[in-house]
Amino acid sequence: MADLELPDIPDVVFAELQSLARRSELSVEDYAKDVICDAVAQFWHSSKDDITITQLQANLEAILRVAEREPVFIVREDGQRHVILPPEEFERINRSTEDR
C-alpha cells in the first residue's frame, strides 16, 4: 500500500478526526483510511456502473459498508452479474416471495 501524507489539515479538522477515530476504536490513520476507502467505494457505486471483481477485491470492506445501505451490483470478468443486498432488503424480498 502506498504511503499518504496530508499536510496542512486544519487543527479543528484533525481534532475531529481524532475524536471520530477514538469513538470507532481505531487509530487516526486507520480511520482516515476507512473514510477514504468508503468515499471511493461510494463513488464507484454512485457512478451507476457495476463494480468489478478487481474493485471488490481491492476494497472489500468499504464496498460491504455501502452494501449495508443499498444494493451493490458486481460484474465478473465473464460478464456474469451478482448483487450484494442489505439484509433488510433480502428479507423483504424473501417475505414477498413467500407471500405468493
- Taking the C-alpha atoms of residue 98 and residue 100, their distance in angstroms, rounded to an integer, is 5
Residue ranges of domains in the chain, CATH in brackets: 11-98 (3.40.1620.10)
Per-residue pLDDT tens digits for 79-94:
999 999 988 888 888 8
Distances (CA, A) of 93 to 45, 65, 85, 100: 21, 20, 10, 11
pTM for the full predicted model: 0.61
pLDDT (0 to 100) of residue 6: 78
- In angstroms and rounded to an integer, the radius of gyration of the C-alpha atoms of the chain is 17
